C-alpha cells in the first residue's frame, strides 16, 4: 500500500525543524531513516498530518567517541555506527548489537536514534541504552533536556518524547576498565526481530572476581528488561563462575507474552539460556579473551 | 484532495531526471511511474522482500522505504544502470545468467543491486559473508543455491578482469 497524504517539510536547519515541529504539535512526525515510519505509513497504521524530514539538517550525523562514552547524532545510520572503529574501541557492544539489527541494506538507512525513539521492545538498541544507563537528548523550541534510559522507554512503541521535540543525539556511557559485553539472540532468520535476546555487561575487580554483572532482555516485556545479577553471581572468580544462578534470576524476573512465534514459557526458557551464554562471553571478554 | 507537489531532481543511472511528486511518493513509484524505469520491482512495500533495492549514492537501500523527496539531489542507480556503457552486462549480471540464479526473475533486480554494492566493498567474500549479503532479499523460486554460486562466480569474473 501507499502512505496516506501528509504535508512534507524538509527543513535545512535544526531551528527550522524545531519551528515546524512546534507548530505541528501532536500531528507532526520526524522522518529519519524511515525504516520503521514508512512501513507504518505504507500499512496505513499511522497517518500524521506533517512529516518533518530531518535528512538535510547539517551536523546531526556525528559520532563522537571518547573515554566517557559514545554520543551518536540523530542522522548517524546504523551502518555508520557499526563500522566506526572509534565507537567500537570504546564500546564493542554497539557493534555486537548492530550486527543483529535487521539486514545490512536496512542498516544503511535506519538510524540508532530513530530506533530508540521508535522504542520497539524487540529492538536491540533500546536494550543497549538501558543496559549502559545512557540517555537521549531531546530538543524543542523551548530548550534541551536529557532523558535517562530508565525514563525514556515508557511502553511498547512509546517513549518519553513529547510533541514538538526532536531527539538530537543519544549518549552511551563507557564501562569501567576490565569490563566485557556480549549480545546473543535467537531469531527465526538472521536479521529478523529476536524471539528473545540478551545483552550482558560484566565488570571484574583487581582479583578478576565478578564486581558487577547486568543484563538487558528484549522481546520479553513492554520495554527492555534490565536485571542486575551481581548478587546472584556472588563474589567469585569469573573464570570459575557458574552462570546458572544468574540465569535463573533473570528467568524469574522476565514476564514474556506468548504469540504466534513462541509461547511465553519458551521465551522465558530461551531468555535464561541466552543470559547464561551472554554473561559467560561478557566475562571472557572482560578477561581480555575474544568471545 | 489537492496535494502539494514537490519538484525533485534525481541523477538516475548518470542521467539528470526531474519529476513533480507529492510528498508521499515512494522512490520506488517515482522510478517506475514518474520516470518509466520499471526494472525496479515492488513486492511487499514493508522493507522485507528487497525486490525494490536500488543504490542511493552508491549504497543499497529499499526504494519502497524512501520518499522520492528525500532523495532529491542524490544519485540513484537502478538495475537498468548496472550494465557497462557499451550495453555489455556487468560481471554480476553475467554470473547470474551463467549460474541460473534466476527463474521468474521478479527478485533479480534487487539481488543484482545488492550484490553489486556488496562485491564492490568485499571483492572476495567468504561463504558466510555471501550468505549474509543475500539474506535480506527474498526469492520464491531458486532456493538461493544458484544465487550464492553467482555471487562467488561474479567475484571471480571481477578479479579476472582486474576488479573492473
Ligand atoms: C525488514 C526490517 C527489519 C527490521 N529488523 C529490525 C531488527 O531486527 N531490530 C531492530 O532494532 N530494528 C529493526 N528494524 C527497524 C530499523 O532498525 C529502523 O531503522 C529503526 O527502528 C528506526 O530508525 P529510523 O531512523 O529508520 O526511524 P524512522 O523510521 O525514520 O522513525 C521511526 C520513529 O521514530 C521517530 N523518530 C525517528 N528519529 C527521530 C528523532 N531524531 N527525533 C524524534 N523522533 C524521531 C519517527 O517519528 C517515528 O515515529 C527493521 C526494519 C525493517 C524494515
Ligand atoms: S518492495 Fe521494498 S522491500 Fe519489498
Ligand atoms: S527468481 Fe523468482 S522470486 Fe527469485
pLDDT by residue (tens digit) across A139-158?
999 999 999 999 999 999 99
pLDDT tens track for B117-160: 999 999 999 999 999 999 999 999 999 999 999 999 999 999 99
CA distance from start to end of chain A: 44
Decide: B64 and B26 in contact? Cβ < 8 Å.
yes
Atom of ligand 1 nearest to the CA of A111: 25
Strand boundaries in B57-151, DSSP class E: 59-62, 75-77
Q: Which tens digits make up the pLDDT trace of A12-48?
A: 999 999 999 999 999 999 999 999 999 999 999 999 9
Q: Taking 50 as the threshold, does the pLDDT of residue A238 lie above it?
A: yes
* Residue A78 confidence (pLDDT) above 80: yes
Pure H helices in A99-215: 104-107, 112-118, 124-132, 149-152
Query: Which triple of cell numbers denotes residue B45?
Result: 512495500
Tens-place pLDDT, residues A202-236: 999 999 999 999 999 999 999 999 999 999 988 78
For ligand 3, atom 4: residue with the closest CA = B139
Which helix (DSSP H) or strand (DSSP E) does residue A285 occupy? helix A264-286
B49 lines ligand 2 (CB under 6 A): yes
Tens digits of per-residue pLDDT, A256-284?
999 988 999 999 999 999 999 999 999 99
Q: How confident is the model at residue A289 (pLDDT cuts 50, 70, 90)?
A: low
Which value does ipTM take for this structure? 0.94
Query: Nearest C-alpha of chain A: how many angstroms from B103?
Result: 23
Alpha-carbon gap, residue A230 to A220, rounded angstroms: 21
Is pLDDT at A291 greater than 60 in this prediction? no
The pLDDT value recorded for residue A233 is: 86
8 A C-beta contact, residue A157 and residue A119: yes
Q: Report pLDDT digits (tens) over B29-64.
A: 999 999 999 999 999 999 999 999 999 999 999 999
* CB contacts, 8 Å: A193 with chain B: none
Q: How far apart are the first and last CA of chain B?
A: 50
Kindly state the greatest CA–CA separation across chain B: 56
Beta-carbon contacts below 8 Å between A and B: 89
pLDDT, position B164: 47
Q: Is the CB of B62 under 6 A from ligand 2?
A: yes
Cell numbers 525513539 correspond to what residue?
Answer: A117
State the pLDDT at residue A290: 52
Locus of grid cell 557499526: A82
User: Which atom of ligand 2 sits closest to the CA of residue B43?
Assistant: 1
Burial of B87: CB neighbours in 10 Å, binned 0-12, 13-18, 19+: exposed
The residue behind cell 544462578 is A245
Query: What is the Cα B122 distance to its own chain's centre?
Result: 17
Weakest-pLDDT range from A143-152, A241-250, A272-281, B88-97: A241-250
Is B78:B39 a contact under the CB 8 Å cutoff?
Answer: yes
Q: Do B61 and A109 touch (CB under 8 A)?
A: yes
pLDDT digits (tens, 9 = 90+) for A186-206: 998 777 889 999 999 999 999
Given a contact cutoff of 8 angstroms between Cβ atoms, the answer to whether A184 and A217 are in contact is no
With 0-12 / 13-18 / 19 or more C-beta atoms within 10 angstroms meaning exposed / middle / buried, residue B35 is buried
Rounded CA gap, A162 and A21, in Å? Answer: 10
* C-alpha span between A216 and A183 (Å, rounded): 9
Shortest Cα distance, chain B CAs vs residue A136, angstroms: 25
Is A102–B70 a contact, with Cβ atoms under 8 angstroms apart?
A: no
Chain B CB contacts of A2 under 8 Å are: 24, 26, 29, 45
Average pLDDT, chain A: 95
Looking only at the bridges linking them, the beta strands covering B5-12 and B15-22 are antiparallel
**Are the C-beta atoms of residues B18 and B84 closer than 8 Å to each other?**
no
SS3 B31: helix
Beta-carbon contacts of residue A209 (< 8 Å; ≥ 6 apart): A235, A236, A237, A238
Amino acid at each position: 500500500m501507499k502512505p496516506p497524504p501528509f504535508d512534507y517539510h524538509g527543513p535545512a536547519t535544526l531551528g527550522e525543524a524545531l519551528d515546524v515541529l512546534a507548530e505541528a504539535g501532536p500531528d507532526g512526525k520526524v522522518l529519519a531513516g524511515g525504516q520503521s515510519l514508512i512501513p507504518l505509513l505504507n500499512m496505513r497504521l499511522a497517518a500524521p498530518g506533517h512529516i518533518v524530514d530531518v535528512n538535510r539538517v547539517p551536523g546531526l550525523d556525528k559520532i563522537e567517541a571518547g573515554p566517557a562514552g559514545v554520543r551518536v547524532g540523530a542522522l548517524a545510520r546504523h551502518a555508520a555506527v557499526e563500522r566506526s572503529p572509534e565507537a567500537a574501541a570504546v564500546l564493542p557492544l554497539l557493534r555486537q548489537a548492530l550486527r543483529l539489527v535487521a539486514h545490512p541494506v536496512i542498516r544503511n538507512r535506519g538510524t540508532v536514534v530513530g530506533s530508540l525513539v521508535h522504542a520497539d521492545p524487540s529492538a536491540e538498541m533500546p536494550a543497549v541504552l538501558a543496559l549502559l544507563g545512557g540517555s537521549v537528548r531531546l530538543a524543542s523550541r523551548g530548550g534541551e533536556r536529557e532523558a535517562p534510559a530508565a525514563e525514556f522507554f515508557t511502553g511498547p512503541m512509546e517513549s518519553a518524547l513529547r510533541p514538538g521535540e526532536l531527539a538530537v543525539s543519544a549518549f552511551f556511557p563507557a564501562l569501567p576498565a576490565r569490563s566485557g559485553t556480549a549480545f546473543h539472540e535467537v531469531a527465526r532468520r538472521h536479521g529478523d526481530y529476536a524471539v528473545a535476546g540478551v545483552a550482558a555487561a560484566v565488570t571484574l575487580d583487581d582479583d578478576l572476581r565478578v564486581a558487577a554483572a547486568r543484563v538487558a532482555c528484549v522481546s520479553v516485556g513492554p520495554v527492555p528488561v534490565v536485571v542486575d545479577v551481581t548478587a546472584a553471581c556472588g563474589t567469585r572468580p569469573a573464570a570459575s563462575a557458574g552462570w546458572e544462578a544468574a540465569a535463573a534470576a533473570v528467568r524469574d524476573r522476565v514476564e514474556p507474552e506468548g504469540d504466534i512465534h513462541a509461547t511465553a514459557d519458551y521465551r522465558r526458557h530461551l531468555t535464561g539460556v541466552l543470559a547464561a551464554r551472554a554473561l559467560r562471553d561478557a566475562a571472557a571478554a572482560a578477561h581480555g579473551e575474544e568471545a | 484532495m489537492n496535494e502539494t507537489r514537490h519538484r525533485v531532481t534525481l541523477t538516475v543511472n548518470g542521467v539528470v531526471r526531474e519529476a513533480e511528486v507529492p510528498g508521499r511518493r515512494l522512490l520506488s513509484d517515482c522510478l517506475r511511474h514518474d520516470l518509466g524505469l520499471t526494472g525496479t520491482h515492488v513486492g511487499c512495500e514493508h522493507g522485507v522482500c528487497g525486490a525494490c533495492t536500488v543504490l542511493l549514492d552508491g549504497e543499497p537501500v529499499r526504494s519502497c522505504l524512501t520518499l522520492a523527496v528525500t532523495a532529491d539531489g542524490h544519485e540513484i542507480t537502478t538495475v537498468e544502470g548496472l550494465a557497462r556503457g557499451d550495453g555489455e552486462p556487468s560481471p554480476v549480471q553475467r554470473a547470474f545468467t551463467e549460474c541460473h540464479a534466476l527463474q521468474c526473475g521478479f527478485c533479480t533486480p534487487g539481488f543484482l543491486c545488492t550484490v553489486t554494492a556488496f562485491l564492490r566493498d568485499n571483492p572476495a567474500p567468504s561463504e558466510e559473508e555471501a550468505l549474509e549479503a543475500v539474506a535480506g532479499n527474498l526469492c520464491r523460486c531458486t532456493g538461493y543455491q544458484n544465487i550464492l554460486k553467482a555471487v562467488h562466480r561474479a567475484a571471480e569474473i571481477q578479479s579476472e578482469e582486474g576488479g573492473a
